Every structure is written in structure tokens, then in C-alpha cells.
Amino acid sequence: MLRGKFLRSLGPHVLEDGQICWRVWAPLAERVELILFPEPGKTACLTMTPEDLGYYSLVLPHIEDGLRYAYRLNSAELYPDPASLWQPQGVHQPSAVVRTDRFSWSDHRWKGIQLQDLIIYELHVGTFTEAGTFTAIVDRLPYLIDLGITAIELMPVAQFPGERNWGYDGVHLYAVQNSYGGPHALAGLVDACHRHGVAVILDVVYNHLGPEGNYLDHFGPYFSDRYRTPWGPALNYDGAGSDEVRRYICDNVRLWLEEYHIDGLRLDAIHAIYDMLPRHILHDIRQAADEAAARRGWPALLIAESNLNDVRFVKLREQCGYELDALWNDDYHHALHAYYTGERNSYYIDFGEAQQIAKAWQHTYVLDGVYSKYRQRRQGASARGVSGEHFVVYLQNHDLVANHIGYHRLVTRLEPATYRQAVCLVLAAPYIPLLFMGEEYGEDRPFYFFTSFLDADLARKVQEGRRAELLRMGWAGPIADPQAVETFLACKLSWDWPAGSLRAALRRMYRDLLSYRKSWRAWRDFANRRAILHTPQEPKLLELWRGDVEGGTGTRLLCNLTSEPQPLPACRPNEALLFSSEWAKYGGVRKPESAGDVLYPWECVVYGPSAWLAHGE
């Protein structure tokens, strides 16, 4: 095999001598031709050379960015490249060459961000700004830095049908969505983030591909006939031909991490990745990420979404683990959401007690091997011994707003004091916090599920599927049409927090709490934590510790879980009131900031070393 400049070996890639090698896996074809479109109305047809295991390749010199091309299989149909980096005219049209070796980078001193320093801001490129592009995000970076964010997490940007989509219907895993600005704009965003000291995490989908514009099955056995995900056929990780499918996915990992300088990947729904081989595909992904990290010079983070509550995913290989860096922890969210809203539909049937908030704080998972009413079986396993930085928690994320009754953001469902307390329990938690775009100032615009499929029949089926899913969740109201452009436009952030408003006060509280995560020693301790529920039979006061409280270097978070004032516990020796969610500057009722001997309704206060008031540790 010819050696390339980068680790990736599929699609058009640069060789060490500067030539371009086209390489495609097409074991179902007996003949593959590369069709070039050098200018309108002209084509060139070049026969590719067969290799072992069903690969075909061709090397050409002096190829520039933007050259259109496609593959012809068996002298018949033309298809886009399965490893296309750019689809300028959408999922069905020819691919285009992208010279990633000519990206302009200024991040040579960037060394990445350590796992424990992550404060993640999840955003959807199309709705985060009015323009809905990568370039428009750059203008918002100073705002995010002022807020205290250390990493942005982009919802999937792999090319999907049309111009509007969450991204989980992507069909070209290597191609950057054209309506967001394409490959060069994404590289520009990553470079700008690094200049500002912000990491970039990319959401990737390795469990399935979307239905429209998905031509992989014409090339080879990319999909399994033994497994099926809720969203379509599963990728073939353990059947005949699976070695090359695994290489296809690992090449995708290398592309994002090495050629785009992405700091980490968020792996979507790994519980829907089916692989029965002794070496799981997640091990291959970990190895590919480590190889890219070694070449570029800073760590590559792998964070996974999983509903299994299984800490083996973040344990070491010698502990029979997969060595991922962190897991999303839905239990923490569900415990808070069910308690504060009273919702018990669907999976919330397993949650809703104050004791579960305490358990989630101290032991990570609520369902840690106990019986789940929703699943009608035991769920999960203990997370004992695994430090908190290996889990990501959130008050909201894209799923938990849109895949929900009414699509309401939580700020529209709770009273301001209650919402502020819920925020504190996430931002002060002994885990990695994730914010969903706009929540920091109380954005009340919805975040609907939206699509722009070109196939009308498919669009109808998707709308019917959404209705059935929300009915299953208990929703009987009107359903926003995923295909309507108005549905998409309604989701764009308002970016509005007038001075003196509750929104401005809420944003200030977010900013302060995130600064405490960086400066308070106890809030950088992910191992030492304790939860005490006072009068558990009638929960009124929740006390949550971080750090060495007994040794005088920890903090105590005290939450009034009622709508009535409660006695404010006395400070310990050398302890002071460091924070209150009811301070007037946050929109609360506590005046002056340090006075009072009661906890106001739904108030959250923090006690810690009095010396921190002067030194801001």
C-alpha cells in the first residue's frame, strides 16, 4: 500500500510525494472507474486498479481542491465516494476533492484540554446563530469564554440530506455538511477555538447511517443482516467483510482527530453498536484515536453516550475495560428532572425521589443493578471506584429537550428559584458539566426535531414515527412538522438577556458557578463526595459535600427542597457562606448577600473555607 501523509487511507488522500491516491473498498464490484468532472460538460473516465480484499486505487498528480468526481461500478451507475470529504451539491451528487494538507493552521502551541478541565457547551451549528454556519460560531467564542466554557461540542456535521437536520441522519460520514460552510470552514472554526483556548468535541454516529443518500450497500457489506438499531440497519462490525468496515470507521476517527485537529469525539449511542468479536470495535476506535493523538501531540478524548450504566466502558483494558474517557450519565439528569417536574412518563417512572438525587451525587448511577420499572428488569452496575471526571452530567441536552413532551426547555416549566437550584446541582456536581446552548440565560425557544429530506415518502414516514414516539411518551398535543422550515427557524437562539432582567441574572449565576469550578480546590476534587438527606422520610434539606470537608478544605452544598423557608444550618469553624442561588444579583430574594438565618424556598447555598472569600481559591 502506498504510504500517505496522514494515517487515513480511504478516499482521495495525499501521498508523501504530494500525489493524490484515490482508494475505495468495493468488494461487490468487478470493475470500478473513477469519473472526473474537470469542468462543466467534460468528464474523464479512469479505470482503477484492483487490490486485495476488494479495494480499488488510482494515483494522480497535481489535483486541486474542489475537483468533482464519482465512482462508476460495473460500467453502470455513478455513486458518490463512501469516503467523500465534501458533497458541495448534496448527498446524491458527485463528491469533491479536499486537500486537508493545505488547511491553514495557527494552533501549533495548542496542547489540548485535560478531561477534568472540561466544561462542555453542546450546540447545533444550524440554530446556534442566525447564519447557521461554522464561521458564525467564531464570532460567539468570546461570549463562551467569558461564560467559562472550555469546550464546545458540535452535534453531528456529517453530510445529511437537504440543509436542515439534527445530524443523526448523516450518510456521508467523512463529508462536512455543505450548508454549514463545508470542510474549510470547519477547520477554520477549530483553529479559532484553539487560538481562544477552547477545545472542540465532535458528535459522531457509528451505530447506523441515515436512509436517504446512503449508497454504501452498493459498494460492500457495510451493514449487518443480523442486527438492527431503532434508526435503521446496524453497521457490520462482526460479520463477513467486517474487517474493512472497521477500517472505514477507524479512518473516520483519524480524519477528524488528525486532519481537522478535533480534540475529542462524542460517540453516539454505543449501546446500539453491535459487535460480538473478542476485540470490540471500541478498542479499535481507542487505538485509532491514540495513534492520531501521538502524531499531533495532544490527547484525543473519547466520550460515549450509553444507556447501559456500565463503567467497563471507561475502565482500563487490564480491568476488562474499553478505555474510553467518559460516559454521559442520564441517571443524574433523570433524578433531577423527575424530582423537580413531577414527570413520571416513560423512563422517568424509575425516578422522582429526593433520595435518588443524593444517590446520583455520591454513587453516580441510580440504577446500579437495581430493578427498573421501565425495563421490567434489573439495570446497570455499580460505579464504585470510578472517579467523577469520567461522567458527563447535564440539566438539558438536545435529546432531553426535543424528545420530550411539548419540546419545552426546563426553564419554562419551573419557577425561577427552583430552576436556579437545579442548575446548581449540575454545575457544582463532582462530574463534568455539559450545557445545552442557550440554557445559561434561560432561552425559552423550543428545540424541535427537524429534517429536510428530499424524499417526500420518507419525510412522511419520519413525521409519523415522531408522532408515534411522542404518543408513547404520553404526549397528545400537536406535533411540530419536522420538514417545515418554520420548525427549524423556531429553534434558533434569541441571544437576548437585557440588563436587569432575570435572564441576565441567570447568566451571571452560570458564569460565577463555572468560575468556582476552576478556582475552588474542592470543586476540582472528583473523588471525595458525600450526600446527606436530612429527615429522609420527609425530605427538606439536602446536604452535598465535595472535597475534604472534615479537613477544612471542602465545600458543603445545602439545598432547601421545599417551597417553605427552612433553618439555615450553622457554619462550621473557619467556614463561610460562599454562594447563594437566592442572592439578589441572581434574581433571588437574599439581601444583603451574607445575611439571614433561614434557607429560602428552593435556595441552594455553599459553605466553604472562609479564607476563600479573600483569596478566591
The beta-strand segments (E) located in 538-580 are 541-546, 555-560, 566-567, 575-580
Instruction: Give how far Cα 525 sits from Cα of 310, 389, 515, 547, 555, Å.
Output: 23, 9, 15, 6, 11
Q: Does the annotation count 268 as an active-site position? A: yes
Single out the residue of 302, 298, 379 nearest to residue 334, CA to CA: 379
Q: Are 558 and 604 in contact (CB under 8 A)?
A: yes
Q: Are 265 and 303 in contact (CB under 8 A)?
A: yes
The beta-strand segments (E) located in 437-574 are 529-534, 541-546, 555-560, 566-567
| Beta-strand relationship, 326-328 and 370-372 | unpaired
How many whole angstroms from its chain centre is CA 379? 23
Cβ-count burial 166-183 (b if 16+ within 10 Å, e if not): bbbbbbbbbbbbbbbbbb
CA angle 522, 524, 529 (to 5 degrees): 55
Instruction: Give how far Cα 498 sits from Cα of 272, 318, 386, 408, 446, Å.
Output: 43, 54, 42, 22, 20
Single out the residue of 136, 132, 100, 110 nearest to residue 14, CA to CA: 100
Dihedral sign for Cα atoms in the order 125, 129, 133, 135: negative
Catalytic residue among 153, 212, 238, 268: 268
Q: Does the annotation count 290 as an active-site position? A: no
Catalytic residue among 305, 325, 331, 439: 305
DSSP per-residue codes, 53-73: GGEEEEEESS--TT-EEEEEE
70 contacts: CB under 8 Å, gap ≥ 6: 35, 37, 78, 79, 80, 81, 94, 95
For residue 550, count CB atoms less than 10 angstroms from its CB and return exposed for 0-12, middle for 13-18, buried for 19 or more: exposed
Q: Are 7 and 81 in contact (CB under 8 A)?
A: no
Q: Which grid cell is 588?
A: 433571588
Residues belonging to the active site: 268, 305
